Amino acid sequence: MKKKHGLALSLVLAAGTLLAGCGGGTDKNEDAGGEGGGESSKDNFTVAMVTDVGGVDDKSFNQSAWEGIQEFGKENNLEKGDGFDYLQSTSDADYATNLNTLARKDFDLIYGIGYQLQGAVDEIAQQQKDAHFAIVDSVVEQPNVASITFKEHQGSFLVGVVAGLTTKTNKVGFVGGMESDLIKKFEVGFVEGVKAVNPEAKVDIQYAGAFDAADKGKAIASSMYGAGADIIYHAAGGTGNGVFSEAIDLKVEDPDRELWVIGVDKDQYEEGNGKTKDGEEFNVTLTSMVKRVDVAVKDLAEKGAVGEFPGGEILEYGIEEEAIGIAPAPHDEHLTDDVKAKVKEYQEKILNGEIEVPTK
């Protein structure tokens, strides 16, 4: 049975570099991969990642992970290329090849970003037993793989509370990328949050079948807004860019229309910026469900750098670890004080166990 941990990220954030400035690792044991531990033989601990098909600039999940790796590289005086790097996947067939390429380049820790890489990480970890890997949003039961998971349902519940209290039409939407157990956590948490504060509201749920199809996201959003929804929450990676695009286009055509998008993973406030035909600026991002992939990725790299790579373990990050929440000030400008207070109230209920948000 794998160990499951909730890590104290508040300590990570408070400590800043968290031992990263103490220098590089020491010698790497020959059988390190088999035991899941071991330390680096280099002066600098090097890290790299493989994106899913959404790409490194998806304004969401991959981008957040890359920002965490870049921050680790900066704090440890690493150079992009041989100190930290990424390989972008354009199709599922690229996953195993890219992971193997980075392993052959001798990176100390290699991340597979997204549950779609689960099979490839499992495969390559067995082939490259002396390399250390991490999978984000899935679990790989290998001694040289650390599995990073999140309590997305908790944050989705909170933005559901926001949507349920803010909607004027009592119609809101959820756009998922590919239907899976993971994205179901976003959907279910969101619906539960909406219903907790507004039982009369209806939630339209649709999946695009892809995380890199902005055109499909735009088409689904057009349908939802056309049917009366005034808020759409997306958990769709690059596909979600199309949701923002549609909301902005509709706002340009009718500046008085009140419609919103709830972002995901990163604070997606900037994605909601637009201008009317008269040049007046506006923003359609109501809030975002912030999932600190960057913090989790950096945290694991810091552990690896001091010889504490948790091979074979599951690391879980949620509200308690300050890795899940909603976008903070100043990007909470569209929320009323009453809504903010209600979000805080429900967050406390989740933390103290009064509410257990379902995942399916």
Residue 23 and residue 81 in one domain? yes
Check whether 24 has a pLDDT greater than 80.
no
User: What's the CA dihedral at 295, 300, 305, 306 to 10 degrees?
Assistant: 110
Residue 329 and residue 202 in one domain? yes
Q: What token pair was written down for 128?
A: 């490259």
Q: What token pair was written down for 177?
A: 């990328």
Q: What token pair was written down for 178?
A: 């590919």
Contact 330, 267 (CB under 8 A): no
Is residue 65 domain-resident?
A: yes
Output the 3-class SS for 284-344.
CEEEEEEECHHHHHHHHHHHHHCCCCCCCCEEEECCCCCCEEECCCCCCCCCCHHHHHHHH
Residue 173 and residue 299 in one domain? no
Contact 134, 146 (CB under 8 A): yes
Check whether 248 has a pLDDT greater than 90.
yes
| Cα–Cα distance, 335 to 322 (Å, whole number) | 21
Q: For residue 7, which phi and psi values (nearest 5 degrees)?
A: -90, 145
| Cα–Cα distance, 254 to 223 (Å, whole number) | 17
Please tell me whether residue 174 adopts helix, strand or coil conformation.
strand
The CATH number linked to 125 is: 3.40.50.2300
Is residue 141 domain-resident?
A: yes
Contact 100, 128 (CB under 8 A): yes
Residue 184 and residue 139 in one domain? no
pLDDT tens sequence across 200-234: 999 999 999 999 999 999 999 999 999 999 999 99
| Cα–Cα distance, 181 to 285 (Å, whole number) | 26
Is residue 196 domain-resident?
A: yes
Query: Which residues have a Cβ under 8 Å from the Cβ of 252 and sit 6 or more positions away?
Result: 274, 275, 276, 277
pLDDT tens sequence across 159-172: 999 999 999 999 99
| Confidence at residue 321, expressed as pLDDT on a 0 to 100 scale | 86
> Beta partners for 260?
231
Residue 342 and residue 194 in one domain? yes
Is residue 303 domain-resident?
A: yes
Residue 94 and residue 140 in one domain? yes
- Band of the pLDDT at 15, cuts 50, 70, 90? very low
Residue 119 and residue 193 in one domain? no
Is residue 278 domain-resident?
A: yes
Is residue 359 domain-resident?
A: no
Contact 2, 314 (CB under 8 A): yes
Residue 131 and residue 101 in one domain? yes
pLDDT tens sequence across 150-159: 999 999 999 9
Is residue 356 domain-resident?
A: no
Check whether 347 has a pLDDT greater than 80.
yes
pLDDT tens sequence across 175-190: 999 999 999 999 999 9
* 94 sits in which H/E element: helix 94-104
Question: What's the rounded mean pLDDT across residues 281-307?
Answer: 96
Check whether 1 has a pLDDT greater than 60.
no
Written as one letter, the residue type at 306 is V
| Confidence at residue 359, expressed as pLDDT on a 0 to 100 scale | 94
Q: Which domain holds residue 329?
A: 152-283+323-351
Is residue 60 domain-resident?
A: yes
- Based on the structure, what is the number of domains in the chain? 2
Contact 302, 109 (CB under 8 A): no
Residue 210 and residue 305 in one domain? no
| Confidence at residue 124, expressed as pLDDT on a 0 to 100 scale | 98
Residue 162 and residue 278 in one domain? yes
pLDDT tens sequence across 36-95: 444 444 579 999 999 999 899 987 889 999 999 999 999 999 999 999 999 999 999 999
| Confidence at residue 46, expressed as pLDDT on a 0 to 100 scale | 98
Matching residue, tokens 């103290």: 352
> Beta partners for 202?
171
Quick one: DSSP state of residue 116?
G
Q: Which of 167, 180, 182, 201 is nearest to 136 (CA)?
A: 182
DSSP 208-262: -S-SS-HHHHHHHHHHHHHTT--EEEEE-GGGHHHHHHHHHHHHHH-TT---EEE
Residue 122 and residue 36 in one domain? yes
Residue 229 and residue 339 in one domain? yes
